[in-house]
Structure 1
Amino acid sequence: MIKQIPNIITSLNLLCGTIALFFAISGDLITASIFVFLGIFFDFFDGLAARLLKAQSKVGLELDSLADMVTSGVVPGIVMVQLLYLSITGDSVDINQLFSTENWNASKYQYLPFFGLLITLASAYRLAKFNVDTRQTTSFIGLPTPANALLILSIPLMLEFQYTQSLASVVLNTWLLLGVTVVSCFLLNAEIPLFSLKFKTWGFNKNLKRYFFLFISLVLIFVFKFIAIPIILLFYFILSLFWKAD
């Protein structure tokens, strides 16, 4: 039973992602974000639990990718669809009217929000590569799907908790959202080495970079709140470039 604890933690990630999916489809992006954050929390600890309990397995690796596909792949894609719809119509998606043009401000944009699902496709490809890429055993090549999910979900959180008219005019620009979609798809599969945030041990010396990154991230979140998330990801890239991945 103890050997199954890591898989149970991973399954909780999957459960949170599945619940988040329902809320994302219904247009409740804040509740969806909460469950995605919770799922990423479980994802952070399942690998550590597997190492501590010496319960690493091929099944656990595959289950982890499947859970990430839902929590950090499907849900962010749906959220981007909702954001693109919101940027065009000023309202969240009504699933029953999604294919109707009568309530759209411009019918030629009817299918444009589905462009956001490219995030889901890019996430699937990234996770498939990760499982067979022996270079990514201790670090990452390309943006991890949970980090990308945080980037996408930071947008509705900024709009909800740090709303200003100027902020909304920027982040709800349709072309900007399309640009974010393209950039996130590229970063997920780019040949860019990035350090892993998953701890093998809690020792300070072996995790100096991770503790430093987490400390700066907490400071940024305290100061900028959800606006800090894109800043933290930029800092993550810069730190990875100048501090060799391990």
Structure 2
Amino acid sequence: MQIKRHIPNIITLLNLFSGCIALLFVSLHKYEYVFFFVCLGIFLDFFDGFFARLFQVQSPLGLQLDSLADMVTSGVVPGYVMFQLIFEYQAVGFFTSEPYFPSNYILPLLGFAITLGSCYRLAKFNIDTRQTDSFIGLPTPANALLILSLPLVIATSSSDFIVSSLVNPYVLIGISFLSAYLLNAEIPLFSLKIKNFTVAKYKIQLIFLVLTILLLVFFHIAGIPLVILTYVLLSVIHNKMNRITV
């Protein structure tokens, strides 16, 4: 029984460890490895809660530990990635690059708006009783995938318009602040958890699943940010339709 009690927390710490490895790869500009280790951390994040419920060992310690691990994997890592992207592209026709802090670092630091927004969201989530079965605002793992897909889209996209947009530091800064807003916006997002499945009850989830598959098949890596945005847009539409029918 003692071993079972520690399994969820060990999994949570492995999530944190994955985030730490991802940070190392951010500093090396190996964004495909960053994406992999954050995905691994998100996978582990799902299973720590699963085993906590399975073994009936949920605890306040586990809740706080989970948030602290997520803060690194889904908060610090995407903020650092955005910092690196803005730093890398700020000299491409927009700013002159100088070898000292004020001119080179001040704009890239705005990328950490993602980290600040993630921290605030995680703190709110821990005390918000409305988010037991669904989310209000974009979850930090989904936001992390959105941000971490950007350098992969830049590297693989054949569209000059998409690439030129994503290497524009103003666009990246705008995405950073939009990300911080979506994390904390009072937008109810439909639950992705399936209980007592029926087509009528989970119609919106099935639509989202079909759209996700289509976006990933046709757009590959570029489909990831589209999937996250589709999730938000479908939730907004779903909320409005529910208000009309009530």
Sort the TM-score into its range (normalised by shorter chain).
0.7 to 0.9
Gaps of 5+ in 2: none
CA distance in 1, matches of 2:216, 2:22: 23
Gaps of 5+ in 1: 91-99
Query: 1:48 maps to what in 2?
Result: 50
Show CA shifts across 1:165-199 (max 9, x none): 433211111111011011011111111111233x3
Query: 2:19 maps to what in 1?
Result: 17
Query: 1:136 maps to what in 2?
Result: 131
TM-score (norm 2): 0.84
Tell me, yes or no, if the aligned pair for 2:38 and 2:73 is still in contact at 8 Å. yes
1:93-242 matches, within 5 Å, as 101-102=98-99, 108-197=103-192, 199=193, 203-205=196-198, 209-242=204-237
CA distance in 2, matches of 1:163, 1:64: 38
CA distance in 1, matches of 2:233, 2:99: 47
- Seen in structure 2, the aligned counterparts of structure 1 residues 184 and 10 have a Cα distance that, compared at 3 Å, is same
CA distance in 2, matches of 1:213, 1:10: 28
Of 152-161 and 162-171, the range deviating more from structure 2: 162-171
Alpha-carbon distance, 1:56 to partner = 1.8
CA distance in 2, matches of 1:78, 1:25: 9
Of 166-175 and 141-150, the range deviating more from structure 2: 166-175
Moved over 6 A (4+): none
Number of residue pairs aligned between Structure 1 and Structure 2: 232
Query: 1:85 maps to what in 2?
Result: 87
Tell me, yes or no, if the aligned pair for 1:68 and 1:145 is still in contact at 8 Å. yes
CA RMSD of aligned residues (A): 2.4
- Seen in structure 2, the aligned counterparts of structure 1 residues 192 and 76 have a Cα distance that, compared at 3 Å, is same
TM-score (norm 1): 0.84
CA distance in 2, matches of 1:10, 1:163: 38
Tell me, yes or no, if the aligned pair for 1:101 and 1:110 is still in contact at 8 Å. no
